[in-house]
Amino acid sequence: MLKCLKIYAGAAQNAMTTMNTLLLEAANGKQVTKEEALSFFERDVEELFYAASKMRKKFKGNKIKICSIINAKSGQCLEDCKFCAQSAHHKTDASVYPLVSNEKIEEVSNKALENAGCFGIVSSGNSLTDEEIDRLCELLKKHKKSDHFGASIGYLSDANLKKLKEAGLKKLHHNLETSEAFFPQICSTHTYKERKDNIKRAKALGYEICSGGLFGIGETLQDRVDLAFTLKELGADSVPMNFLMPVKGTALENAKPLKPIEILKTIAVFRIILQTSDIMICGGREINLRDLQSMIFFAGANGTMSGGYLTAWGRNPADDKQMIKDLELEIDPHR
Ligand code: SF4
């Protein structure tokens, strides 16, 4: 019996040492495999915090990025993403309006850029019309801070990507949402490949790529790891991580919320896999993490969205700035 216990204790000790070594190596910049990344979910959150914080400091220093968005065109999207309040396939209370005026975007962006380093123009729907793209180009050419702008405006032809780039747009956002294997379970009206192709063409034209996902939609841990590896392969410069805020009337209105510690572990695993990318915590931070939201930075995030989301309110930017200050981190005036 004693011999058995000693063997068991020895095996457990070996497993601990192996895993700690893996995390330590990852924290020092070693690329991890999918299997290793998956096994990190079984570690204590403190261990993950150690590795992820070390990586954040190594690659990002003490600087925290803040971004902000405008929902520039809302609702009546013909796509059927199960989680989305703006899909015409769902009956929700989300606002419906066409592309807002350039004056409105200018007004909101000027205010937002007092606190944020990056301002995203987001529109619902598969794509914008050529006329709408021309309108955005006019705005970008005129705006003094257009190099702080990003756009999340669906699929774009090469011609429109080039036009927007010439007008001053630097960053293109297009989420993958989840893994390739799980994607058909959340959307049937377009393919993962179409999303990836849009990102690849923008990357080839020199755009900074902002692409991430949504968690808590029924995906497995393997789906999360697969998503992170796909984003790495695509060279995502910035990775927004959103956590489902179930909306009444959508197909996921009754989805069970993720636990805060699981969210923090997911953030840490993304930092460990994606190493140098910006890890930005966006939709669902306040509702899902509650009092633990400041811990996103210990989990390796180096940025967050502040001031509101597409169809839900967020926190007052002043509170987010205070939280960052209290953590003795600095706000990055990035673009
Ligand atoms: S996530 Fe985007 S593409 Fe999907 S339904 Fe919502 S607005 Fe449309």
Residue 94 is predicted with a pLDDT of 86
Domain ranges within the chain, ordered by starting residue: 42-332
Residue 295 is predicted with a pLDDT of 96
Residue 315 is predicted with a pLDDT of 79
State whether CATH 3.40.50.10490 applies to domain 42-332: no
Residue 309 is predicted with a pLDDT of 62
Residue 12 is predicted with a pLDDT of 45
Closest CA relative to residue 242, chosen from 197, 154, 309, 145: 309
* Pocket lining for ligand 1, CB < 6 angstroms: 77, 79, 81, 84, 86-87, 124
Ligand 1 pocket mutation pick from 87, 97, 174 by most atoms within 8 angstroms of CB? 87
Ligand 1: which atom is nearest the Cα of residue 190? 3
* Cα 83 from Cα 249, distance rounded (Å): 10
* Cα 6 from Cα 317, distance rounded (Å): 55
Q: Tokens at residue 277, please?
A: 């990318």
CA-nearest residue, atom 4 of ligand 1: 81
CA-nearest residue, atom 6 of ligand 1: 84
Residue 116 is predicted with a pLDDT of 87
Q: Could you give the C-alpha distances from 146 to 61, 124, 156, 325, in angstroms and in order? A: 26, 21, 19, 27
- The rounded Å distance from CA 79 to ligand 1 centre is 6
Query: Which residues are CB-contacts of 130 (< 8 A; sequence separation ≥ 6)?
Result: 160
Torsion over CA: 129, 135, 141, 143 (sign):
negative
Block means of pLDDT (10 residues each) for the chain, 335 residues, are 49 53 89 95 93 95 93 88 91 90 92 88 90 95 90 94 95 97 96 96 97 97 98 97 95 95 98 97 94 96 83 77 94 78
Ligand 1 pocket mutation pick from 69, 73, 79 by most atoms within 8 angstroms of CB? 79
- Residue with tokens 């309006």, as numbered in its chain: 97
Q: Could you give the C-alpha distances from 41 to 151, 161, 334, in angstroms and in order? A: 33, 38, 31
Residue 126 is predicted with a pLDDT of 85
- The rounded Å distance from CA 123 to ligand 1 centre is 9
**What backbone phi and psi angles, to 5 degrees, belong to 23?**
-65, -40
Residue 207 is predicted with a pLDDT of 97
Query: Which residues are CB-contacts of 112 (< 8 A; sequence separation ≥ 6)?
Result: 68, 69, 70, 119, 307
Ligand 1 pocket mutation pick from 124, 189, 252, 282 by most atoms within 8 angstroms of CB? 124
Query: Which residues are CB-contacts of 10 (< 8 A; sequence separation ≥ 6)?
Result: none
- The rounded Å distance from CA 65 to ligand 1 centre is 25
- The rounded Å distance from CA 178 to ligand 1 centre is 14
Q: Cβ atoms within 10 A of the Cβ of 24, count?
A: 14
Q: Could you give the C-alpha distances from 286 to 25, 123, 227, 244, in angstroms and in order? A: 32, 23, 23, 11
Report pTM.
0.91
